[in-house]
Chain A
C-alpha cells in the first residue's frame, strides 16, 4: 500500500506532496476551464479541454487510480477530443460562433438555469458532511487494473453490458440515419479515366510553363514543337486574371532565332556544342543553333538562358 493511502488511513489527511500537486493543478484547470468559455476560436477551446483532461488524469493517478488516469488520457484526450478537433477542422476552423439566437430568449433561460444549478451545487456541497477518507483498499491499491476489472466484470457486469449495448445501438443508429442510398453508379478512378479518354481530353499532364532554356516564369507560355505558344501551359488562374505574358513576343523571338540561326552564331554568347571527337555530330546543325542561343534578341532572363533549370531536385 502506498504511503499516500497509509497517511490517509492514519490521519485522515493527505500528504504535502498531494496538496502541492492539487494546488498547482487546480488553478491551471480552472484557468483552462475558463478558457473554454471565453476562447474566441473553437480550436483554442478544444485545447483548453485537453489541458483540463490531462490535469484530471494527473489527479486520478495521484489518488491511486492509475488505470483510470491513463485510460482517461487514451480514451478522452486521444480519441474523443481528437475527433472533436477533426470535426472542427473539417467544418471550418476560424468560424466563430454566430450570435443569432435560434430559440427566442434562450440566453435568459440559460442564465437562469445556470444560476439555479450553481445555487443547488453550492447548497449541496456546502452542507455535505465528509466522513473520514479511507482511500482504496486491498487489491485495488496493489494492482489497480485487476481491482477495477473485478468490480466492473463482477459486481457491475450487467450495467457494463447494458452500456455497451447502448453505445453499439447509438453507433448503429448514427450509421442508419446518415445512410443514403446511392442513386447513381459510383464514379471511381477508373470511370473518371475512361470518361476522360472518351471525351478526348488531354491524357498526359499539361505542358509546364516557360520556354525551355530561355524562360521559366509561370506566366510565360511554353512553346510547342511547332514554335507556337501553348495557352494551356500557363496556370488557369493567371490566364483568368489576365496576367499572362505576351506569348507572341516569345514566339516571335523563337522565329527570329530559327530564321537567323547562322547569323547569331559566333557573334556573342556560347558557342554551339562541339561535335564529339569520334566525328559524329551531337545534334543536327539546325537544331543545335536554336537550342544554344543565348536570348539576346529579347529581354533575357539570365546567363546561359537556363535559369532555374539546372538545379531541380
Chain B
C-alpha cells in the first residue's frame, strides 16, 4: 500500500499526513461500516419489498424488526457446517473466502468525503487512492467472481455447476459493458482516480451529460451483482439456488455477505463516478458558500446517494421478472455493448472537438442539444408516409374459429364465438324436459353424481 499511495501525484486527495494508525482506523472503520451496512441492507430490502407487496415485512425482533438480520446471521452461524462428499475440499472451502475478501477490497478507494481533521491529522475520509483506482475496483470485482465460479464447480453437483457456468458467461459479458460505460467518465474527468473524478464533478454531476453511460452502468451493475432480474446464476426456480446449493452455515453466509457487499460496492461506484460522490446536491451545495461540502457533512450526502441506489436495486427486484437466459445474453451482447461502444466513440469525438477548438463543455453540450432539437423539428416537417388503408371489416359481429391456430383463442372485439354445442345440448335437454313436463306432471331433477 505504501508504494501505491506514494507513487502518485495527480490524485486530488492529499494523503501526505497519514500515519499507520490513521490507516488502521480507516481500514477498520470501512470493514465495520460494510458489515453493519449488510445487516441493515438485508432488513432494508425485506422491509421495502414487503411494503411493495402490501405486507409488513420483518417487524418482530427489535424496533421495526431491525434486529431480524442479526437473528438470521446467528442462525446461520449455529447451523451445521456440511461439506458434501463429492466436493473438491480445498476449492470448496476457499471459494467463499475469495468472494468475501475481494468484495471487501473495493471500498478502500471510495472517497467518503474531503480532507478533515482526524485526531489532529489532516486526512481525507478515504483509505487510499491512486491513478488507476477505478480499474482496481474492476479488478477486484473480476477476481471476486472466481469465488462464485469455483464454489459452483467444487460442489461436484449439477445445479451448482450450471449456476457457475452461467455466472462466468454473465460476468464476461456484463463486465465489458460496465467497463465501457465507465470509460466515458474517464474521458471527461481526465483521470481514473476516484478523488479526482469527484473533484471533476464540482460543476455538473456526470450522470447528466453522460446519461446513456449512466443507464448502461445501472443495468450492467445489476447484472454484475447477480440480482433480479439478472439473478440467473442462482435462479431458485431453475437451479435451486445455483452455485450455493451445496453450501450451508457460515460458508453460505459468506456468499450471502459477498453478494450484499457487492451491491454496496457497485452503488458506491455509481455514486462516485456519476452522482458527484460526496458532493452535496445543488440547492444545499450553495448554502453559506459551500458549507455543506466541507468537514464531515459530505459523508451524509454520500450515504444518502448510496442508499438511494440501494433502493433502486430493491425497487427493481420488487417489480421486474427474471430474464430468460438467451434474452439476457442478447441484451448484453446485442444492445448494451454496442450502445456502450457507440457512446464511447461519441464522447471521444466531443472531447476531441472540445480540446482542439478550446470550447467550453457547456457550449458543446448546448450545440449538441441544438442539433438534436433541429433534427427533431425537421423530422416533424417531413410528411409522414401514407399507410395503406386497413382492409375494411364487414359490419356486425364476426363468427371465427377459436381453434384455428391450434390454441383456443378468446374472441377479439367485434368477434363472437360460434354457437356452443354444449349450450345447444342443454337447450335440447331443456326442451325435452319441458315436453316431458307437459306429458307427465311430476318434475324430475337430474341428480349430480359425486366422487364418480
Q: Determine the distance from Cα of A75 to Cα of B135 in the docked complex, in whole angstroms.
A: 10
A83 pairs with B132, CB closer than 8 A: no
Smallest beta-carbon distance A96→chain B, Å: 14
Q: B204: CB under 8 A from chain A? A: no
Given contacts A79-B142, A194-B406, contact A62 B149 (CB under 8 A): no
Q: A56: CB under 8 A from chain B? A: no
Smallest beta-carbon distance A104→chain B, Å: 35
Residues of B within 8 A of A227 (CB): 451
A89 pairs with B450, CB closer than 8 A: no
Residues of A within 8 A of B139 (CB): 57, 70, 73-74, 77-78
B3 pairs with A82, CB closer than 8 A: no
Given contacts A54-B143, A86-B172, A287-B450, contact A2 B6 (CB under 8 A): yes
A143 pairs with B8, CB closer than 8 A: yes
Mask: chain B, 131-150; 1 = CB below 8 Å from A; 0 = not: 11001101101110110011
B150 pairs with A47, CB closer than 8 A: yes
> Which of A4, A47, A86, A258 has most B Cβ within 10 Å?
A86
| Interface residue range, chain B | 35 or more
Residue on A nearest B152 in the bound complex, by CB: A89
B142 pairs with A77, CB closer than 8 A: yes
Smallest beta-carbon distance B410→chain A, Å: 16
A50 pairs with B146, CB closer than 8 A: yes
Q: Determine the distance from Cα of A129 to Cα of B266 in the docked complex, in whole angstroms.
A: 49
Q: Determine the distance from Cα of A144 to Cα of B10 in the docked complex, in whole angstroms.
A: 10
Q: A90: CB under 8 A from chain B? A: yes
Residues of A within 8 A of B10 (CB): 142-143, 146
Residue on A nearest B407 in the bound complex, by CB: A197
Residues of A within 8 A of B179 (CB): 74
Smallest beta-carbon distance B164→chain A, Å: 7
Residues of A within 8 A of B60 (CB): none
Q: A17: CB under 8 A from chain B? A: yes
B406 pairs with A197, CB closer than 8 A: yes
Residues of B within 8 A of A251 (CB): none
Mask: chain B, 145-182; 1 = CB below 8 Å from A; 0 = not: 11001100100000001001100110110010001000
Q: Determine the distance from Cα of A137 to Cα of B423 in the docked complex, in whole angstroms.
A: 93
Q: A36: CB under 8 A from chain B? A: no
Given contacts A79-B142, A85-B149, A144-B131, contact A70 B172 (CB under 8 A): no
Q: B39: CB under 8 A from chain A? A: no
Q: B2: CB under 8 A from chain A? A: yes
Residues of B within 8 A of A290 (CB): 451
A83 pairs with B172, CB closer than 8 A: yes
> Which of A54, A142, A227 has most B Cβ within 10 Å?
A142
Q: B130: CB under 8 A from chain A? A: yes
Residue on A nearest B449 in the bound complex, by CB: A286
Q: B203: CB under 8 A from chain A? A: no
Given contacts A4-B3, A79-B172, contact A73 B149 (CB under 8 A): no
Mask: chain B, 112-143; 1 = CB below 8 Å from A; 0 = not: 00000000000000000011100110110111
B450 pairs with A284, CB closer than 8 A: yes
Residues of A within 8 A of B7 (CB): 2, 4, 64, 66, 141-142, 144
Q: Determine the distance from Cα of A287 to Cα of B172 in the docked complex, in whole angstroms.
A: 58
Q: Determine the distance from Cα of A83 to Cα of B173 in the docked complex, in whole angstroms.
A: 11
Residues of A within 8 A of B2 (CB): 17
Mask: chain B, 59-91; 1 = CB below 8 Å from A; 0 = not: 000000000000000000000000000001001
Smallest beta-carbon distance B96→chain A, Å: 15
B406 pairs with A86, CB closer than 8 A: no
Residues 272-313 of B contacting A (Cβ, < 8 Å): none
Smallest beta-carbon distance B44→chain A, Å: 22
> Which of B9, B138, B139, B452 has most A Cβ within 10 Å?
B139
B172 pairs with A67, CB closer than 8 A: no
Smallest beta-carbon distance B345→chain A, Å: 14
B165 pairs with A86, CB closer than 8 A: yes
Mask: chain A, 16-44; 1 = CB below 8 Å from B; 0 = not: 01000000000000000000000001011
Given contacts A77-B143, A78-B143, contact A142 B150 (CB under 8 A): no
Residue on B nearest A195 in the bound complex, by CB: B406
Q: B192: CB under 8 A from chain A? A: yes
Q: Determine the distance from Cα of A82 to Cα of B171 in the docked complex, in whole angstroms.
A: 9
B6 pairs with A145, CB closer than 8 A: no
Smallest beta-carbon distance A288→chain B, Å: 10
Smallest beta-carbon distance A259→chain B, Å: 10
Q: A226: CB under 8 A from chain B? A: yes
Q: Which of A57, A66, A82, A197 contacts B4 (CB 8 A)?
A: A66
Q: Determine the distance from Cα of A54 to Cα of B139 in the docked complex, in whole angstroms.
A: 10
> Which of A71, A74, A146, A284 has most B Cβ within 10 Å?
A74
Residues of B within 8 A of A64 (CB): 3, 7
B406 pairs with A198, CB closer than 8 A: yes
Residue on B nearest A203 in the bound complex, by CB: B407
Q: A105: CB under 8 A from chain B? A: no
Smallest beta-carbon distance B35→chain A, Å: 25
Q: Which of A50, A71, A89 contacts B168 (CB 8 A)?
A: A89
Given contacts A86-B172, A143-B131, contact A226 B452 (CB under 8 A): yes
Mask: chain B, 1-31; 1 = CB below 8 Å from A; 0 = not: 0111011111000000000000000000000
Q: What are 7 A-B contacts defined by CB distance under 8 Å?
A: A2-B7, A43-B88, A54-B143, A62-B3, A83-B168, A93-B153, A143-B8
Other 14 A-B pairs with CB < 8 A, given A4-B3, A82-B172? A4-B7, A43-B88, A61-B4, A62-B3, A66-B7, A67-B131, A78-B139, A78-B145, A82-B171, A142-B10, A144-B7, A144-B132, A284-B450, A286-B451
Top 7 closest pairs, chain A to chain B, by CB = A78-B142, A73-B139, A197-B406, A286-B450, A142-B9, A86-B168, A143-B10
Q: Please give the residue numbers on chain B whose beta carbons come within 8 Å of chain A beta carbons, in ascending order.
A: 2-4, 6-10, 88, 91, 130-132, 135-136, 138-139, 141-143, 145-146, 149-150, 153, 161, 164-165, 168-169, 171-172, 175, 179, 192, 405-407, 450-452
